[in-house]
Amino acid sequence: MGRLTKYIRPYYLYIAFTMFVKLCGAVAELFVPFFMERILREGVVPGQQVRIFIYGGAMLLCAGACVFMNIMANRMSAVSSGKITRKIRYDLFEKLNSLSARQMDELTIPSAESRLTSDTYRVNEFLARGQRLGVRAPILLIGGVVMMLTMDARLALVLAALLPIIGLTVWIVTKKSIPLYTKEQGVLDGMVRVVQENVTGVRVIKALSKADYEKARFDKVNTELTRVDMKAGAITALNNPIVSLVLNLGLTAVVVVGAYQVAAKNTETSVIVAFLQYFVMILNAMLGVTRIFIMASRSQASALRVAEVLELPADLEVMPEGENVQPEQAEPPHIEFRNVSFSYTGIGENISDLSFTLRRGATLGILGSTGSGKSTLVNLLLRIYDADKGSILIGGRDVRTIEKDELRSKFGAVFQNDFVLEGTIADNIRFFRPLDDAAVESAARDAQALDFIREKGGFGAAVDARGSNLSGGQKQRLLIARALAADPEILILDDASSALDYKTDAMLRRALNKNHGDTTTVLIAQRISSVRNADLILVFDDGKVIGAGTHDELMQSCDEYRLIADTQMGTGEEAVGE
């Protein structure tokens, strides 16, 4: 919890007051057996019956005060812990959003999800119950012992002798269970991952009849989770029986020793009765303390996992411009890659020594086999990842020197496998930006989406989560409209028209040409027809550019390009759809 102190600090006073109220409640509770003992001792004496009412009233008062203060403190603890957790969750969410792609790769999304949900929940649980049980249990424990000592020190010693044994049990159990609970949280991450993949891929899983395989996979993590949980449970379960056993043995000893003491007239029967009550109180308090320890250890593991993310250093810092001054150029190219190399994992390069320039308003077409590094180029250009070597310039400025918001505002992008939101069609195109209806409509027109939007019932028509009520091509057009809507400087279409028929694809390109002529476009495609009019076409293979030039140049110079052209278009010259 230590690393989350800054969230708790503003509530110190409030929490202190909560604990004080809880403390008063616990003290009131302690006096109930005390007054009962008085009744038994003094009230039964003939002629003193009035004391029954006095002490009885005091007992009632104590019990009432105890209930009232407990309720009050419990409510207060729920308020402070709720507010603290809300802030932690908020900051965690914000932090997760600010992480670089590389940090997210390392953290993994399922882990981020369980940190945001179950881990913060555990922290919340500890904050709330810690304020309640954490005060009540020790007060009842220590108070109970003190009360017993004042009533009959010799008898109380019987109990005091047992405390070290109990303390040791609690210590061993806690020490053994903490690592197990930490591990459990890790296994839970794995489970979230499997479920998430299953839900996301439910169609393909069904289509490929992989349901059994998925079940087996889920079964595996589920079993592992159960195993760890059972192991942790088995250890913590030792707590209650051992503590109960020891305390009840102590109770027997008190009764035996007490009987001799009463016989020897060293103590009163009423004291023994009060002792029995205190014993039950102490027993429960003991169990409460162990529960606190276990909860503390579980939530400690969770707090660490939350803090770990919160304390991640900012990645992809913006560099001062001075460090990377470029020689003045009259009109720098709009986009320039200079000897860029990059690797996701540090093993093998996913982009090697890539250089090209693109003037403003030009179109770059990218072709290449799967996994050849096409999307990686986009990731580098948007600075989702930083290049390992070389530099990437936009308008003559290194992307590393441009503020993130400024950089991102230059782009309109459709990523490969991009997602649509649950909401209306207009929401999806607008995407939280202050765009008027005319801009939304003209973007939709350029994206060739008007037809299907009309069919669906206009811009107010609902889009289901993940766009499940849209066809692949409709989804792509919606996404293209979103990318165009803010009239970006640079448009990126990563495999964004693969589901469009040739005719629509051609119409889209014509609209882009006509209405977005100043927009520099990066167009990743599978089809030659999509890129054949581009000013520059790069052919990728395994992170390297094996051909660069216009369509006609590549037909001459690049064998691979010609091969693709032949397979797609019969002979490369019979253009389709233009």
* Residues making contact with ligand ATP (CB under 6 A): 105, 344-345, 350, 368, 370-376, 416
Say if CB 140 and CB 286 are below 8 A apart: no
Report 268-327 residues binding Mg ion (CB under 5 A).
none
Q: Which is nearer to ligand ATP, 156 or 354 (CB)?
A: 354
Comparison of 105 and 437: residue with beta carbon closer to ligand ATP: 105
Full DSSP string of 461-497:
-EE-GGGTTS-HHHHHHHHHHHHHHT--SEEEEESTT
Cβ proximity to ligand ATP: between 373 and 473 the closer is: 373
167 binds, among ligand ATP, Mg ion, none (CB under 5 to 8 A by kind): none
- In angstroms, the CA 307 to CA 1 distance is 9
When CB distances are held under 5 to 8 angstroms depending on the partner's kind, the choice from Mg ion, ligand ATP, none that residue 105 binds is ligand ATP
Nearer to Mg ion, 358 or 366 (CB): 366
Least distance (Å) from ligand ATP to the CB of residue 350?
4
Q: Closer CB to Mg ion, residue 236 or residue 497?
A: 497
Residue from 77, 270, 290, 375 in contact with Mg ion (CB under 5 A): 375
Tell me the two tokens of residue 354: 């890539």
CB of 539 closer than 8 Å to CB of 558: yes
Residue 181 or 415 with smaller CB distance to Mg ion: 415
For residue 22, the partner it binds in ligand ATP, Mg ion, none, with Cβ less than 5 to 8 A by kind, is none
- Residue whose CB is less far from ligand ATP, 209 or 345: 345
Cα(239)–Cα(150) distance, integer angstroms: 29
Shortest distance (Å) from residue 223 CB to ligand ATP: 29
Burial classification of residue 8, based on how many CB atoms lie within 10 Å of its CB (0-12 exposed, 13-18 middle, 19 or more buried):
middle
DSSP for 338-356, please give it: EEEEE-SSSSS-SEEEEEE
Question: Which window, 68-76, 89-97, 149-157, 415-423, contacts Mg ion (CB under 5 A)?
Answer: 415-423
Please say which residue, 257 or 539, places its beta carbon nearer to ligand ATP.
Answer: 539
d(CA 235, CA 246): 17
Is residue 371 part of the contact set for Mg ion (CB under 5 A)?
no
Which of residues 299 and 375 has its CB atom nearest to ligand ATP in the complex?
375
**How many Å apart are CA 151 and CA 37, to the nearest integer?**
10
Please state the closest distance from residue 285 (CB atom) to ligand ATP, in A.
52
Query: How near is the Cβ of 379 to ligand ATP at its closest, in Å?
Result: 7
- Which is closer to ligand ATP, CB of 117 or CB of 355? 355
**CB 287 within 8 Å of CB 240:** yes
- What's the min distance (Å) between Cβ of 523 and Mg ion? 13
Number of H helices, E strands in the chain: 21, 12
Tell me how far apart the terminal alpha carbons of the chain are, to the nearest angstrom.
Answer: 64
Q: Which stretch binds Mg ion (CB under 5 A): 326-334, 368-376, 390-398, 426-434?
A: 368-376
- Tell the smallest beta-carbon distance from residue 540 to Mg ion (Å): 10
Distance of closest approach, residue 372 Cβ to ligand ATP, in angstroms: 4
In this structure, the dihedral spanned by the alpha carbons of residues 64, 66, 68 and 73, taken in order and rounded to 10 degrees, is 180
Q: How far is the CB of 495 from ligand ATP (least distance, A)?
A: 6
Parallel, antiparallel, or unpaired: how do β-strands 462-463 and 536-541 relate?
A: unpaired
Asked if 355 is part of the footprint of Mg ion (rule: CB under 5 A), the reply reads no
Neighbours of 216 (CB within 10 A): 10
Spatial strand order of the sheet with 544-549 comes to 411-414, 490-494, 520-524, 363-368, 536-541, 544-549
Asked if 119 contacts 306 with a C-beta cutoff of 8 angstroms, the reply is: yes
| CA gap 337, 356 in Å, rounded | 5
Please, which residue, 416 or 556, has the CB nearer to Mg ion?
416
Decide if residue 416 touches Mg ion (CB under 5 A).
yes
Q: Among residues 309 and 528, whose Cβ is nearest to Mg ion? A: 528
**CA-based diameter of the chain, in Å?**
122
Shortest separation between residue 98's beta carbon and ligand ATP, angstroms = 18
Instruction: Give the burial class of 573: count Cβ atoms within 10 A of its Cβ; 0-12 exposed, 13-18 middle, 19 or more buried.
Output: exposed
Element (H, E) at 398: strand 397-398
Of residues 152 and 494, the one with the C-beta less far from Mg ion: 494
Shortest Å distance, C-beta 5 to ligand ATP = 35
The distance of closest approach from Cβ of residue 389 to ligand ATP in the complex, given in angstroms and rounded to an integer, is 16
What is the rounded distance in angstroms from the CA atom of residue 269 to the CA atom of residue 263?
10
Assign 574 to helix, strand or coil: coil
User: Minimum CB separation from Mg ion for residue 388, in Å?
Assistant: 19
User: Which region, judged by CB under 5 A, interacts with Mg ion, from 26-34, 140-148, 411-419, 469-477?
Assistant: 411-419
- What is the smallest separation between the CB atom of 371 and Mg ion, expressed in angstroms? 8
What value, to the nearest 5°, has the Cα angle with vertex 17 and ends 11 and 21? 140
Task: Please tell me what DSSP assigns to residue 535.
Answer: S
Applying CB under 5 A, the residues found at the interface with Mg ion are 374-375, 416
